Structure 1
Amino acid sequence: MIGLDQYTVALVAGVILALALFVFTLGKSPVFRVDRAGAAIIGAAAMIACGVLSFEEAMQSVDFKTIVILFSMMIVVANLKIAGFFDLIGSAILRQISSKQSLLLSTIMVSGVMSALAINDVVCLLFTPVVLLVCRRGKCNPMPHLLAVAMASNIGSAATLLGNPQNILIGSLSGLSFASYFFTASPIALGGLLLTHGILSVLYRRELSGFISPEAEQHSVVIHGYLIAKTLLVLTAILAAYIAGFELALASSVGAAFLLITRRVNPNKVYASVDFNLLVIFIGLFIIVGGVEKSGLMGELMAFLPSSATEHRGLFAVLTVILSNIVSNVPAVLLLKFFVPVDHAEIWWKSLALFSTLAGNLTITGSVANLIVAEIAKRNNVAISAKEYLKAGLPLTVLTTGMALVWLTLFR
């Protein structure tokens, strides 16, 4: 292990983080044949090799519960895919929706509402394949609809303390009641979903004009009703257990294990549908962010901020948005929790939950949900570039954050 002083350790961690985020933003290295998964592996290895983290510390920085949840839900999604569930849902959507605009609105509302009730990462994992299938069969440009899944899932998840990991964390740290937070945040979430529709409709007006091709409805698929019913029953049980207070990692892993007990499905077909690249990305990101936290880099940067940055709501919003896009939402919350004032703490915790979640729409790397959509799209030969995402994400983040600021002033 290389011996480095604290300043050098922080500098090394910052360089590794910057290079990893650069590749994540572009989707691949402009020089080497390195994709997001490769950048995550290289960045994590560099953190250990340079002595920023020991191997044991790197392992401790990985949130294995999140990895277990994602892997388990991928098993569930794989069973639905094999059973023809996505084809069935796609056919149902195409029968009910005739225009591309109505498809966009339906995508936004379904993603938003589902993400308020369950973790938005899981919603993206389940819903993105459906949207891709509908767009392919409906002969639509999938880009605005994929952006709708990612952005609406972020905004919808802001409505409740169960919608995303950072809100779950804030609920635990602050003691906020579910109803109190929902009453404050739900109008912002609803307004944000409408803004999402408006912005995407303007930016992609050509792609969204016209009707869905009726030829898409003439598509025969093989549906395995028993497997669909079994998998949906397991998925319902997982969500019910989670809402009832059971650990989601435990509930999802038990559900996935139950689905693997079968005489009908070849397990290799299930494993082939698991996105191991995405799991690698998550593990690498956890280690990279863990290195940044251990190095003290963010503490050094925070020390240069004026005290007013965490006393004025507007400056606090800007700081939260920027920090959430540098180190991701959950680490940003862990850092900013120390700056929540004792007086009127409830409204500040609500502000932190809203701003850190809405920040996820700024860049393609601003939210794990965005990366999930981007990676699933990539596997289906649809590339969402950082520039393409920013085109809609920047105005949406500015408008929704501004709307939240105005709304929160009513709760002073």
Structure 2
Amino acid sequence: MDWLVLAVFVAVYLGMFLGELPGLALDRTGVAVLGAIALVASGRVTPEMAWQAVDVPTLALLAGLMVVSAQFRLAGFYTFIARRLASAAVAPPVLLAWLLVVVAVLSAFLVNDIVCLAMAPILVEGCARRGLDPVPFLLGLACAANIGSAATLMGNPQNMLIAQKLHLGFLSYLGLAFPVVILSLAACWLVLVLQQKGQWFAHTPIPAITARELSRWQAAKGLVVLGAVVLAFSVTPWPREIVAVTAAGLLLTSRRMASREMLGLVDWQLLALFVGLFVVNHAFAVEGWMAAALSKLSGWGLDLSQPAVLFLSAAALSNLVSNVPAVMLLLPSATYPAAGPILALASTLAGNLLVVGSIANIIVVEQAAQLGVGISARDHARVGVPVSLITLFLALAWVLLAF
């Protein structure tokens, strides 16, 4: 076993934990890419091995579905939905319930990060116009985006990775996750309502939001293509990555939507993170360190072949190193039928625990701050901690019952 490979692996996952490497202007993506470069430059991984380590079908699936999500953003679809919600003439608790359901549905079939990025500013504007405190609604947006994305195998990057690696059935997973998501949304609504204690109103300066108006044709085009993608995922044996890139190609073939704009909304940083981690994790496994680590954990009573242990490990690691690196690290242990749903539900629902637990949370907090609405880590934790603990308990109980 090569000690340099171990050192690089530890340094990379330390960077995942810290979000950077001390003294360097590297974020998580930079750390992962630098780790892969170090392994190739040192000869521990040849260029051919590095290429073989990268799961190209997973990257193609991710990129294709990101283009589909970009279609809806550029068509003004998210803006239209957010404004219709914010202007609904209903009581604040009812408005919150509608928001949670709509955001969860959108996040189940479109990349949840883009949903949050597009809807957060419009939600602040709508709440400000009605004199509502935007904070509970923004927290609801973030929590519902995470919960909703757990419903399908296309709602977030880690679920796409799990689906590709473990060949999970789209409809079978949806059937398993759906009850958990419904109960989790109800729990989220209840926590937020109890936290507010009837105090729904607050003065917020109305921000000047520049947003795209709805293009009904482009939105309809996106809905037709998305429907075809979901249908293909559900009832055909076609490779999902081929379906996704074909859908992206159809949407890029447009007379009005510039390909530069659409491709600009693809999260290339995330794709680069995947590439770096694929190479680093591959080297770690090939050198025998992964097997040694699993053996050591088993000797300590942490046997990842036990569903409850895997579930809790995924939830904990997702908040330490973020959910995508956590899933990539635990995938080699996913060798039994319950493991795929366990990883998908635990890593996604754990994202609500802390602000740094998911990109969706960070996007909402940063977007709110730019518009003068402060959401501290403590504000988020007051909602995120109970929501995360309740939903994780529901998910674990349901998976153990189901299997």
The TM-score with structure 2 as length reference comes to 0.74
- Matching residue within 266, 283, 302 for 1:309: 302
Deviates more, 1:251-260 or 1:193-202: 193-202
Matches within 5 A, 1:150-189: 150-159=142-151, 164-165=159-160, 168=163, 172=167, 178=171, 185-189=177-181
Provide Cα deviations, 1:89-117, integer angstroms capped at 9, x if missing partner: 2322222255654444333323434555x
Aligned counterparts of 1:125 and 1:267: Cα–Cα separation in 2: 17
Task: Please tell me the residue identity of whatever aligns with 1:322.
Answer: A
Structure 2 partner of 1:319: 313
Structure 2 partner of 1:371: 359
Structure 2 partner of 1:343: none
What's the CA shift for 1:18? 1.0
Structure 2 partner of 1:133: 122
Aligned counterparts of 1:405 and 1:275: Cα–Cα separation in 2: 31
Judged with a 3 Å threshold, the aligned counterparts in structure 2 of structure 1 residues 377 and 7 are, in CA distance, closer, same or farther, namely same
Aligned counterparts of 2:57 and 2:309: Cα–Cα separation in 1: 33
In the alignment, structure 1 residue 230 sits paired with structure 2 residue 226: no
Task: Please tell me the residue identity of whatever aligns with 2:272.
Answer: V
Task: Please tell me the residue identity of whatever aligns with 1:129.
Answer: A
Deviates more, 1:151-160 or 1:299-308: 151-160
Judged with a 3 Å threshold, the aligned counterparts in structure 2 of structure 1 residues 129 and 302 are, in CA distance, closer, same or farther, namely same
**Residues 91, 217 of structure 1: 8 Å contact kept:** no
Matches within 5 A, 1:74-93: 74-93=66-85
Aligned counterparts of 1:387 and 1:16: Cα–Cα separation in 2: 28
Matches within 5 A, 1:86-101: 86-96=78-88, 101=93
Structure 1 partner of 2:232: 241
Judged with a 3 Å threshold, the aligned counterparts in structure 2 of structure 1 residues 201 and 61 are, in CA distance, closer, same or farther, namely farther
Provide Cα deviations, 1:40-84, integer angstroms capped at 9, x if missing partner: 433332343344533333333333333333333343344433333
Structure 1 partner of 2:101: 109
Structure 2 partner of 1:263: 255
What's the CA shift for 1:302? 1.8
Unpaired runs of 5+ residues, structure 1, are: 341-345
Structure 2 partner of 1:10: 6
**Residues 140, 188 of structure 2: 8 Å contact kept:** yes
**Residues 128, 373 of structure 1: 8 Å contact kept:** no
**Residues 278, 375 of structure 1: 8 Å contact kept:** no
Task: Please tell me the residue identity of whatever aligns with 1:134.
Answer: L
Structure 2 partner of 1:253: 245
- Secondary structure, counterpart of 1:305 in structure 2: helix
> Pairwise CA RMSD of aligned residues?
4.4
Judged with a 3 Å threshold, the aligned counterparts in structure 2 of structure 1 residues 190 and 260 are, in CA distance, closer, same or farther, namely closer
Aligned counterparts of 2:282 and 2:134: Cα–Cα separation in 1: 35
Provide Cα deviations, 1:245-279, integer angstroms capped at 9, x if missing partner: 33332223222222333333444443444443343
The TM-score with structure 1 as length reference comes to 0.72
Task: Please tell me the residue identity of whatever aligns with 1:280.
Answer: A
Task: Please tell me the residue identity of whatever aligns with 1:402.
Answer: F
Unpaired runs of 5+ residues, structure 2, are: none
Structure 2 partner of 1:401: 392
Judged with a 3 Å threshold, the aligned counterparts in structure 2 of structure 1 residues 323 and 283 are, in CA distance, closer, same or farther, namely same
**Residues 100, 189 of structure 2: 8 Å contact kept:** yes
Kindly, what percent of the aligned residue pairs are identical? Answer: 27
Judged with a 3 Å threshold, the aligned counterparts in structure 2 of structure 1 residues 281 and 161 are, in CA distance, closer, same or farther, namely closer
What's the CA shift for 1:39? 3.3
Provide Cα deviations, 1:373-411, integer angstroms capped at 9, x if missing partner: 635875786598877766654444433333444455656
Aligned counterparts of 2:37 and 2:152: Cα–Cα separation in 1: 36
What's the CA shift for 1:13? 1.2
Judged with a 3 Å threshold, the aligned counterparts in structure 2 of structure 1 residues 48 and 148 are, in CA distance, closer, same or farther, namely farther
Deviates more, 1:98-107 or 1:242-251: 98-107
Task: Please tell me the residue identity of whatever aligns with 2:163.
Answer: I
Aligned length: 388
